[in-house]
Structure 1
Amino acid sequence: MSEQDNKNEPINELIAVGSEITGGTLVTAIILALGGAAAGPHGAILTSVATPTIVYFLKKLGAEVKNRFLSHREEVRVGATLTFAISKIQENLDNGKQIRQDDFFKKGVQNRSAAEEVFEGVLIASQREHEEKKLRFYGNLVANIAFHPEINRAQANVLLRLGSSLSYTQMCLLGLIVNKDKYKLRQQNYISKDEQGKIQVLNIKLEQTFALQEIYDLYIKRILEINMSGLIFGKPIADLEYITPQNLTIKEIGLQLYNLMELSDIPKEDFDSISQLLSDP
C-alpha cells in the first residue's frame, strides 16, 4: 500500500460504509476523486483542482472521526455526509465555481481554522442525526460555504446550528414556501365566526396541527415570517389556527439556508405531501 493510500484509508473507509445511504456508484466516484490508487485519468481531480487545502481538511477530519468510538450507524451517517459534501464540491468545481481564497482555511496563532471548525461541526451533527434524509443537505451546506467568501466564521456557525436544528419536514416547508406559487396553499386561516360573531376554530386534522406547529417553530427561529390575521389589543395572535399558509414568507436567513443546502433537491413527493396538509380539500 502506498503512502497516499495510507493517508486516504480512514476517509475511504467512512465513505465506503456511508454507501448504505449514498449508494455504491457515488462512493466509487468519490474515492477516485480523492486520488485513490485506481484513480486513472479521472482520479485526483479533487486533489489537483480544489487545492490541497480542502482535501487536507477532509482527510484529517476523516481520520479523527474514524478514531472516535462510533456505532456502525453513526459511521454510516458521517460517511454519507462526507460523500455528499465531496460530491457537491466536485460538482461546483465542474461548474466553474472557485473555492474561497480568504482566510477560511487558514489556521490562526491560537485557533484552528474556520473550515476545520465548521467541517467538524457538520460531521458531529450528522453523527447524531436520526432523520437521515437530512444528510445530503448537511453535505450541501458545508460544501457550498467553501465557495462563499462573504460568509465568515461566525455566520457559518450560525447557519450550521440553524440548519441542523431543522426537522426534515421544516426543510420541506422552506422549499414549499419559496415555491408557493406552484402550489395551491390555503388562503385563509383556520378560524371562523358564527352568526353572533363568536370565534370558532375549524376542525383541523392532527397531521395538519403537526405541520402548523413546525411552521410556528420556524417563526420562533426567525426563519419564517407569519403574517397572521386576527388581533388582540393590537398584537398578533400566536395560536396555530391563525396561520394562513399562503401568507407565509421566508426571511433572508431562511432563503440563505434554502440556497446553501439546495433544498430544491428535495424529492417532489415530499413537497407534495406537505402541501396537501396546507391546502384546501
Structure 2
Amino acid sequence: MNRSNEEDIEKAKSLISIGAEIAGAAVGGAIGFFATGPVGAAGAGSLGVIVAKAGAKLLGDVADRTMSAREKVRVGAAAAVAFNKIEKVALSGNEPRKDDFFNSEEGKRSDAEEILEGTLRRAREEYEEKKILLLGNFYANMVYSPGVSTEEANYYLRLFDSLTYRQLCVMSLIMMKPQYSDFQNLRSHDYRTQNANMQASTVALLQEIYALYNLGLVCVRSAGGNGYVSLLAWHDIIPLGLEFTGLGERFYKLFMGGGSFSLPDITTIAEALR
C-alpha cells in the first residue's frame, strides 16, 4: 500500500520525537524541517524540498518496521540529529549537493535514501549509544558533500560500525591536539622501553589505536619528526606522533565534522597516553 507524502511526514515526525532522550534539542529542529511538509524545507530551495521528501519517505518506511522501544529511540535520535543539522546548514545559506544523489528512477530509489537507511540501520543496532549522534551527523554531512560517492559512503558506514566509541575519541584527540595544550604533552617515545607495570587497560587502548593504524586511518610520525614509523605491534606507537592519514581525515570530517564529543572522555584517553 502506497502512503501519501503527508502520511510519511507524520510518521517521520513521530519517530524523530521518540529520539529526544538521546538527541535532546535536535528533535525540535528536525521536526521543524518536516513541520509543513515539503514547504517547510523551502528555505533550502528546490533541493531542500527533495531532501525533505526523500527523508520523509524513508523514515515513514522505517517507522513501519518492527523495532524494540530502545531501537526506536536510537533511530529517532540519529534522524533528529541529521535533519536538525540539514535545516541549520540550509538556513545559513548553503545548498545540498547538486549531483544525482537525490535522483530516483522507476524501480530504483535514490542514493540519498540508500545512505539514510544504512545510517539508521546502524543506529538501530548500535549499543554504544554515544556513537548515535555521530551517525546523524554523517548523513547530514553527506547531503552537503558532493565529492563523496555513495560507494565510498557505504564503506565508511561499515568502517564506522567496526570502531568503538573510544577509537572515535582517539581520532578526535588527534584532531584537537594542535589546539589544546593539555593534549600536547603525550608520551613522545614508544612502549618498547619504560613499560614496566603498564596496566592492562592501557595496553587495550594501544591495541585499539593499533587497529586504527591497520585500517589506514592513522599514522605515527617518528620521535625525531622526520618521516613515519612502521608499526609492528602496539608497543611501537608514539602517542605524540599520532596523525591522520588522508583517509582518516576524510572519515573524521564526515562523521565528526561539526559534531561534538565529551571532552572528559577525550581527556581520559590523553591521560592514559602520557
Fold-level match, TM-score > 0.5? Answer: yes
- Structure 1 range deviating more: 210-219 or 174-183: 174-183
Verify: 1:191 aligned to 2:192, yes or no. Answer: yes
The correspondence for 1:149, drawn from 131, 138, 146, is 146
Verify: 1:100 aligned to 2:97, yes or no. Answer: yes
1:197 equivalent in structure 2: none
1:223 equivalent in structure 2: 217
- Structure 1 range deviating more: 106-115 or 96-105: 106-115
TM-score, normalised to structure 1's length?
0.84
2:226 equivalent in structure 1: none
Per the TM alignment, residue 106 of structure 1 is displaced from its structure 2 partner at its CA by: 0.9
- Structure 1 range deviating more: 7-16 or 136-145: 7-16
2:205 equivalent in structure 1: 211
1:121 equivalent in structure 2: 118
Listed one character per residue, the Cα deviations across residues 139-167 of structure 1 (whole Å, up to 9, x for unaligned) are 11111111111111211212222223221
Verify: 1:273 aligned to 2:268, yes or no. Answer: yes
SS of the residue corresponding to residue 84 of structure 2 reads helix
2:28 equivalent in structure 1: 28
2:137 equivalent in structure 1: 140
Matches of 1:224 and 1:237, distance apart in 2: 11
Question: Could you list the runs of 5+ residues in structure 1 that have no partner in the other structure?
Answer: 38-42, 193-199, 230-234
Matches of 1:256 and 1:237, distance apart in 2: 22
Instruction: State the identity as a percent.
Output: 32
TM-score, normalised to structure 2's length?
0.86
2:157 equivalent in structure 1: 160
Larger Rg computed on CA atoms: 1
Tell me the C-alpha RMSD between the 2 structures. Answer: 2.3
Matches of 2:230 and 2:137, distance apart in 1: 36
2:69 equivalent in structure 1: 72
SS of the residue corresponding to residue 265 of structure 1 reads coil
The correspondence for 1:255, drawn from 233, 249, 256, is 249
Per the TM alignment, residue 28 of structure 1 is displaced from its structure 2 partner at its CA by: 2.8
Q: Spell out the pairing of 1:168-183 with structure 2 (5 A cutoff).
A: 168-181=165-178, 182=180, 183=183
SS of the residue corresponding to residue 266 of structure 1 reads coil
Per the TM alignment, residue 63 of structure 1 is displaced from its structure 2 partner at its CA by: 1.2
1:56 equivalent in structure 2: 53
Per the TM alignment, residue 242 of structure 1 is displaced from its structure 2 partner at its CA by: 1.9
Verify: 1:14 aligned to 2:15, yes or no. Answer: yes
2:127 equivalent in structure 1: 130
Per the TM alignment, residue 16 of structure 1 is displaced from its structure 2 partner at its CA by: 1.2
Matches of 1:270 and 1:251, distance apart in 2: 23
Question: Could you list the runs of 5+ residues in structure 2 that have no partner in the other structure?
Answer: 224-228
Matches of 2:49 and 2:35, distance apart in 1: 11
What number of residue pairs does the alignment pair up? Answer: 259
Matches of 1:271 and 1:201, distance apart in 2: 22
